[in-house]
Each structure stands twice: as C-alpha cells, then as structure tokens.
Amino acid sequence: MNNYVRIFDTTLRDGEQSPGATMTSAEKLEVAHSLARLGVDIIEAGFPASSPDDLEAVRRIAEEVGNPTAGEPNAKVPVVAGLARASKGDITKAWEAVKGAQKPRIHTFIGTSEIHMKYKLKMDPEEVIQRVSEMVAYARSLCADVEFSPEDAGRSDPEFLYVVLGEAIKSGATTLNIPDTVGYTTPDEFFNLIDGIIKHTPGMHDGITISVHCHDDLGMATANTLAGIRAGARQAEVTINGIGERAGNTSLEEVVMTLKTRHPVFELETGIDTTQIARVSKLVSNYTGMVVQPNKAIVGANAFAHEAGIHQDGMLKHQTTYEIMRPEDVGVSQSTLVMGKHSGRHALRSRLAEMGHSLDDVELDKAFARFKELADRKKTVTDADLEALIADEFYQPRDVYLLNGLQVSCGTMGMPTASVRLRGPDGKIYTQAAIGTGPVDATYKAIDEIVNVPSTLLEFNIHAVTEGIDALGEVTVRIQGKDGDHTMDAQTEIQHNRVYGGHGADTDIIVASAKAYISALNKLIIAQTEGLQTA
Ligand code: KIV
Ligand code: ZN
C-alpha cells in the first residue's frame, strides 16, 4: 500500500455549508489560491447545482486555480472537484463547473443508510444500487475522475455498502469516499468499517483510492479519520479550522500535523506545506467571520502559549519540555520585531512575499501607505500586524459603502454618541449621528440609518492582534439579512436572509468595529442586489 495520503479540502463546500460561513465568490477564489499554495491535492470548490452563484464560483476556481499559473509551470496543480447528488441534472452542472480545470473531478453521492433511504430518498435499496450504477456511469462518461460517496455510511449496513461500492467501481468510480455524515461512529468502529470495505468490496483493486470524510458531532472526527487512514484509506476529506455542517468536519491542520508529528507511528506523508497553515486558517476565519476558539489544536491563539509558571520555566530550559511541535512549523511566527517606521517599500514587499502575499505595484502602494500609518502609531510592526492589514485592505468585498470618517464621544458622563460619514455607492458622502448604549452600538446605529438594509447583528468579536497598548484591534462580525418580503422565490429569500461575516482591523477599535460591520453589510447588499458571485 502506498504511503501518501491525499488531502481533499472541502472548506469551500462542506465548510461553507455551515451556518454563517458564506463566502463571496472573490473570497472563495482567494481561499482556493491559498489552498493550492498550502499544497492540498484536491479542492472541492462547491456544489454547483445548489445555486447559479455556486456554479460560477466553482467554474472560476477550476479555471484560475485548477490550471498551471504563468511563470510557475512546475507548481503542483490541484484537482478541482464539484459535488453532485446522484442525478443527471446535478452531475451535468458539476461537469459544467469543473471542466475548465486541468484535473477535473465529479464527486457524486447518495444516502445508503436505512434512515436516509426510507425517510429522505424514499427509495428501496435496489433502486439505490440501480441509481448508483447509472449515475456513476453517467459521471464517468463526462469526466475521467469520478468520486462516489455513500452518504451516512457510518450508519449503513456494511454488507449493503460492499454491494453499492462494488457497483460504483464497476461503473467507473476511482475514489470511494466513506462519510460518517452525522459523526456517529467511534474510532474502532470506523477502522473496522474501512478495513471491511477494503477486504470485501467486489472488484476492489489498487487503482481505487479509499477516502474518509468524518463529522465532529461527538468530537471524534480527527480520531476517526486517523483510524480510517490506519485501516488503509489514502485520502482524507477535511476543512480548514474544522468548519462544516453542525459541529464541523475533520480539521485539516489536526490530521496533517498528527501525521507529521507522529510520523514514526503512521509512516505516512502528505504534500502539505505546513508553514502555510496559520495563514490559511486566519484567512478562512476572517472571511467566514467564524472565530477560531483560543484552545483549538494547532491554530488556536493559545495553541503555543505557555501560561503556568512550571511550564514557562520548562520552556525556558528547553522548548521540547512542553512543545511537541514548533510554532514555526505551522507558520506561527515567533519573531516579534519585523519592521519599523524606517523600513522601506522593498523590505515590505519581500516580507509580504515571504509570508505568501505577492502584491502588484498598485496593491503594494496601498499596503505601504497602511504600513506607514501603522508604524507611526506603533513601535514595531509584526507579521501578525501585516496579516491583519492585508486582510483589512485586500480581502474585503467590493465596496458599496466605505467608511469616510468617524467620531465618537463616550464615557461615564453622558450618552455615547457617534457621528459617521460614509461614501455611498453613488459616490455621495452621507453623514449621520446616533446615540447608543456604547460607542459601538452608537456607531452601528448611525451606519444603519445611512445604509438602511434590515439586518440582525448575530455576533461581535474583538481581539488584539499583538500584545501591548498600541496593538491593532481586529473585529469580526456576523450579521443576518432580515427581509420581510415573503413574495420572493425561495432561492432569493435564502440569499436575502443568509448570514454574512465581516472583518476589520485598526489601532482604533471603534474604527475596526465600523469597518467590520460595513464589510458584512456590503456583502449582504451585493448578494441582495446582484447575487453573491459579483461580490
Ligand atoms: O457528510 C457527508 O456525507 C457529505 C457527503 C456529501 C460526502 O458531505
Ligand atoms: Zn460532510
């Protein structure tokens, strides 16, 4: 058996499906580029039949990320996959979306547990078998690389699975993905399931890759994925930060770092450049507005922090006393002093390039202006500051409204008041003042008065990018569209009432809060007026 585990990233499909993780097409494209730089083998870019926006986003990713870049002809090009239910319509759309990639893949699925067949599909087991053979064959007639998943395999009868998977092989599937859709199994059970499939599926041969896809409902997704890999699976389906339906999917960083850190146990390799992990984690968190919990393995803010005196003492004596991985292995920079106010454009460009951001001249001008502004206010500018600035400046939806000025007065003496100036989509300047329960509330009320798009603020998070009183403040928000018009069709209503994340960074936390809110509102407005793909 080969010792290479393919990393199939589904952040843009299963991850994006989780409540509030909606990304615009431009954001998806940026994440896809980062995933390619990270070295994932397969990017599941979306579910093209779910909406015209999703089809368009997958098509752009297939064309732009799924092909060699000019100037880098030898760089690894990921497979680009599109998900499809086992129906002709879905499969046709998935093919339409991925066919522009150098290595396209159609991933089709159907439920195989009794619960799914009886209640969801209302199909007999024989009908399911028939559908699998017809639809896998149809997908294969379009695309040479076909993946098949028996949904809810974790609760399916293994004997039935062998038959279904045997049909999929006969019809041309080359990857068989085994999902624990509801995160129900234990590692031992999942090991046995994969082991049984490899041993008993008719027609199983070396050209077939067994894949595992686990959900985290009982907190065992990573353990189950690793158990499946030990049983012989050679593809792991994962997401950045473990985002995904309900409690999420297996997290990429946990699987990859376990295989690397415990190499003597597994003796397996992946193609991941682990030094990119922290960066992609931050990008996904900023775009989705889903904050990573501080104690999250590998990418949480405290993952490499040592607080207890005994631990700090041990760390000072030798790093290995309390650290099983080095922070720099996952791209968490230990260097604090990176640049100061005297650093020039060239130094900034090369530091950003080392961090994985290649900017053109116009972008560099903007980044340099922001950097100088920050360096005037803050003694040292760290990698973390630069990441926050880049995210704030470039990883934003297209501007509809733009913050043009903000003044707040607050304290114990009176009523917190904010005066806000925004440049509107028509180029005009709008000014509004409002009183609130605090400075952020007052600012958001003033913005609402100008923008006039009904929404609910679901979540507001603020944190300091680095230590010290002069630190940059980073704010992420999640808002939900609130449209009372029930005459619209279901698809439009979903679009209007989706959850959107926004992100902003500034040394002034009220300015950062305003930027984050405006960025989320911009996404909502664009989605409501034009559809997500144009955001
Ligand atoms: O969890 C699941 O079963 C899935 C399939 C569509 C692969 O996401
Ligand atoms: Zn899933």
Q: CA-CA distance, 39 to 507, in Å (whole number)?
A: 34
Nearest CA to 19 among 246, 286, 291? 246
Tokens 């952020």, located at residue? 440
Can you give the pLDDT at residue 220? 98
Can you give the pLDDT at residue 336? 47
Supply the DSSP symbol for 293. P
H-helix segments, 99-171 = 114-115, 125-142, 158-171
Q: How far is CA 482 from CA 3, 270, 307, 381, 498, in A?
A: 50, 44, 43, 40, 9
Radius of gyration of the chain (CA): 24
Q: At a CB cut-off of 8 Å and minimum separation 6, what does 343 contact? A: 371, 375, 381
pLDDT digits (tens, 9 = 90+) for 354-388: 777 778 899 999 999 998 888 888 777 887 788 88
Pocket test for ligand 1, best of 47, 151, 238 (most atoms within 8 A of CB): 151
β-bridge pairing 455-464 and 146-151: unpaired
Can you give the pLDDT at residue 27? 86
Whole-number Å distance, alpha carbon 245 to ligand 1 midpoint, is: 10
Closest atom of ligand 1 to CA, residue 109? 6
Can you give the pLDDT at residue 343? 80
Can you give the pLDDT at residue 103? 98
Can you give the pLDDT at residue 426? 93
The token duo for 363 is 């972008």
Nearest CA to 176 among 147, 152, 139? 147
Q: CA-CA distance, 408 to 422, in Å (whole number)?
A: 15
Nearest CA to 38 among 354, 281, 276, 330? 276
Residue nearest to atom 2 of ligand 1 (CA): 181
User: If you write DSSP's letter for every residue of 57-78 in order, what string do you get?
Assistant: HHHHHHHHTSSPBTTBTTS---
Phi, psi of 515 (to 5 degrees): -65, -40
Closest atom of ligand 1 to CA, residue 179? 3
**What is the side-by-side order of every strand in the sheet holding 429-435?**
402-409, 417-423, 429-435
For the chain, residues with pLDDT lower than 50 are 336-337, 533-535
